[in-house]
Amino acid sequence: MEPTQKLDNQLCFALYVCSKEIIQKYKALLEPFGLTYTSYITLLALWEEDNQTVKELGEKLFLDSGTLSPVLKKLEGAGFVIRERNPSDERSVTIRLTDKGKRTQVSALSIPKAMHCSLTEDRRMDGGRIEALVDELHTVASILLEG
Protein backbone atom coordinates (compact mmCIF):
# COMPACT_ATOMS: atom_id res chain seq x y z
CA MET A 1 0.00 0.00 0.00
CA GLU A 2 1.20 3.47 -0.88
CA PRO A 3 1.79 5.74 2.15
CA THR A 4 -0.51 8.34 0.52
CA GLN A 5 -3.36 5.82 0.75
CA LYS A 6 -2.98 5.15 4.48
CA LEU A 7 -5.89 6.44 6.52
CA ASP A 8 -3.64 8.03 9.14
CA ASN A 9 -1.86 10.04 6.44
CA GLN A 10 -5.05 11.70 5.21
CA LEU A 11 -5.54 15.35 6.11
CA CYS A 12 -9.30 14.90 5.69
CA PHE A 13 -9.38 12.08 8.24
CA ALA A 14 -7.27 13.98 10.79
CA LEU A 15 -9.54 17.01 10.44
CA TYR A 16 -12.66 14.83 10.65
CA VAL A 17 -11.54 13.14 13.88
CA CYS A 18 -10.47 16.44 15.46
CA SER A 19 -13.70 18.17 14.45
CA LYS A 20 -15.84 15.33 15.77
CA GLU A 21 -14.01 15.22 19.10
CA ILE A 22 -13.93 18.99 19.57
CA ILE A 23 -17.65 19.27 18.87
CA GLN A 24 -18.25 16.44 21.36
CA LYS A 25 -16.22 18.33 23.97
CA TYR A 26 -18.18 21.51 23.22
CA LYS A 27 -21.44 19.60 23.61
CA ALA A 28 -20.67 19.01 27.29
CA LEU A 29 -19.58 22.63 27.80
CA LEU A 30 -22.65 24.05 26.05
CA GLU A 31 -25.27 21.83 27.67
CA PRO A 32 -25.64 24.04 30.79
CA PHE A 33 -26.43 26.98 28.48
CA GLY A 34 -28.98 25.01 26.48
CA LEU A 35 -26.94 25.52 23.33
CA THR A 36 -25.78 23.31 20.50
CA TYR A 37 -22.44 23.84 18.78
CA THR A 38 -24.17 25.50 15.81
CA SER A 39 -26.20 27.80 18.05
CA TYR A 40 -23.03 28.68 19.97
CA ILE A 41 -21.09 29.71 16.86
CA THR A 42 -24.12 31.70 15.75
CA LEU A 43 -24.06 33.59 19.05
CA LEU A 44 -20.30 34.09 18.71
CA ALA A 45 -20.90 35.78 15.35
CA LEU A 46 -23.64 37.97 16.86
CA TRP A 47 -21.47 38.87 19.87
CA GLU A 48 -18.87 40.12 17.40
CA GLU A 49 -21.47 42.08 15.42
CA ASP A 50 -25.10 42.33 16.44
CA ASN A 51 -27.97 43.09 14.03
CA GLN A 52 -26.93 40.91 11.12
CA THR A 53 -29.12 39.56 8.36
CA VAL A 54 -29.62 35.83 8.00
CA LYS A 55 -27.66 36.06 4.76
CA GLU A 56 -24.71 37.79 6.46
CA LEU A 57 -24.69 35.22 9.28
CA GLY A 58 -24.86 32.35 6.82
CA GLU A 59 -21.88 33.71 4.89
CA LYS A 60 -19.87 34.26 8.05
CA LEU A 61 -20.66 30.78 9.42
CA PHE A 62 -20.56 28.95 6.07
CA LEU A 63 -24.11 27.72 6.66
CA ASP A 64 -26.97 27.70 4.18
CA SER A 65 -30.33 29.13 5.18
CA GLY A 66 -31.83 25.64 5.42
CA THR A 67 -29.38 24.85 8.22
CA LEU A 68 -29.27 28.28 9.84
CA SER A 69 -33.00 29.07 9.93
CA PRO A 70 -33.96 26.25 12.36
CA VAL A 71 -31.02 27.23 14.60
CA LEU A 72 -32.21 30.84 14.67
CA LYS A 73 -35.76 29.72 15.38
CA LYS A 74 -34.56 27.70 18.39
CA LEU A 75 -32.38 30.56 19.61
CA GLU A 76 -35.39 32.86 19.37
CA GLY A 77 -37.60 30.36 21.20
CA ALA A 78 -35.00 30.16 23.98
CA GLY A 79 -34.92 33.96 24.25
CA PHE A 80 -31.38 34.59 22.93
CA VAL A 81 -32.28 36.44 19.73
CA ILE A 82 -35.09 38.23 17.94
CA ARG A 83 -35.76 37.74 14.23
CA GLU A 84 -37.20 40.79 12.48
CA ARG A 85 -38.31 41.10 8.86
CA ASN A 86 -37.13 44.19 7.07
CA PRO A 87 -40.31 46.24 6.37
CA SER A 88 -38.88 47.50 3.07
CA ASP A 89 -37.77 44.02 1.95
CA GLU A 90 -39.82 41.13 3.38
CA ARG A 91 -37.22 38.62 2.15
CA SER A 92 -34.55 40.07 4.45
CA VAL A 93 -34.55 39.01 8.10
CA THR A 94 -32.33 40.72 10.68
CA ILE A 95 -31.16 38.89 13.78
CA ARG A 96 -30.39 40.77 16.96
CA LEU A 97 -29.45 39.71 20.45
CA THR A 98 -31.91 40.02 23.31
CA ASP A 99 -30.78 41.07 26.79
CA LYS A 100 -30.48 37.36 27.63
CA GLY A 101 -28.33 36.82 24.53
CA LYS A 102 -26.07 39.70 25.54
CA ARG A 103 -25.81 38.52 29.16
CA THR A 104 -24.91 35.02 28.03
CA GLN A 105 -21.75 36.37 26.40
CA VAL A 106 -20.23 37.06 29.82
CA SER A 107 -21.04 33.68 31.34
CA ALA A 108 -19.98 31.92 28.12
CA LEU A 109 -16.41 33.16 28.60
CA SER A 110 -15.94 29.93 30.52
CA ILE A 111 -16.37 27.89 27.32
CA PRO A 112 -13.21 28.84 25.38
CA LYS A 113 -11.24 28.83 28.64
CA ALA A 114 -12.38 25.27 29.40
CA MET A 115 -11.56 24.15 25.85
CA HIS A 116 -8.12 25.74 26.11
CA CYS A 117 -7.51 23.97 29.43
CA SER A 118 -8.58 20.61 28.03
CA LEU A 119 -6.07 20.99 25.18
CA THR A 120 -3.19 22.17 27.36
CA GLU A 121 -3.65 20.19 30.57
CA ASP A 122 -1.17 17.43 29.65
CA ARG A 123 1.26 20.05 28.29
CA ARG A 124 1.51 18.55 24.79
CA MET A 125 -0.10 21.76 23.50
CA ASP A 126 0.29 25.32 24.67
CA GLY A 127 -1.32 28.61 23.75
CA GLY A 128 1.25 29.30 21.05
CA ARG A 129 0.72 25.95 19.34
CA ILE A 130 -3.06 26.36 19.48
CA GLU A 131 -2.78 29.83 17.93
CA ALA A 132 -0.44 28.52 15.21
CA LEU A 133 -2.80 25.62 14.48
CA VAL A 134 -5.76 27.99 14.12
CA ASP A 135 -3.70 30.14 11.74
CA GLU A 136 -2.76 27.07 9.67
CA LEU A 137 -6.37 25.93 9.50
CA HIS A 138 -7.42 29.40 8.32
CA THR A 139 -4.79 29.10 5.58
CA VAL A 140 -6.07 25.66 4.54
CA ALA A 141 -9.67 26.95 4.49
CA SER A 142 -8.62 29.99 2.45
CA ILE A 143 -6.86 27.81 -0.12
CA LEU A 144 -9.83 25.47 -0.41
CA LEU A 145 -12.35 28.31 -0.65
CA GLU A 146 -10.35 29.98 -3.42
CA GLY A 147 -9.98 26.74 -5.42
Q: What is the pLDDT of residue 13?
A: 96
Looking at the chain, the whole-number percentage of residues with pLDDT higher than 90 is 93
Asked if 101 and 81 touch (Cβ cutoff 8 Å), the reply is yes
Q: Which domain holds residue 74?
A: 3-113+122-146
CATH number for position 21: 1.10.10.10
Question: Tell me: the pLDDT tens digits for 3-59?
Answer: 999 999 999 999 999 999 999 999 999 999 999 999 999 999 999 999 999 999 999
Confidence of residue 137 (pLDDT cuts 50, 70, 90): very high
| Amino acid symbol at 25 | K
- For residues 57 and 55, give the distance between their C-alpha atoms in angstroms, rounded to a whole number: 5
Asked if 81 and 68 touch (Cβ cutoff 8 Å), the reply is no
Buried b (16+ CB within 10 A) or exposed e, 97-135: beeebeebeeebeebeeeeeeebeeeeeeeeeeeeeeee
| pLDDT at 90 exceeding the cut of 80 | no
Residues 6+ apart with CB under 8 A from 104: 33, 43, 80
| pLDDT at 63 exceeding the cut of 80 | yes
Number of domains the chain is built from = 1
- For residues 127 and 60, give the distance between their C-alpha atoms in angstroms, rounded to a whole number: 25
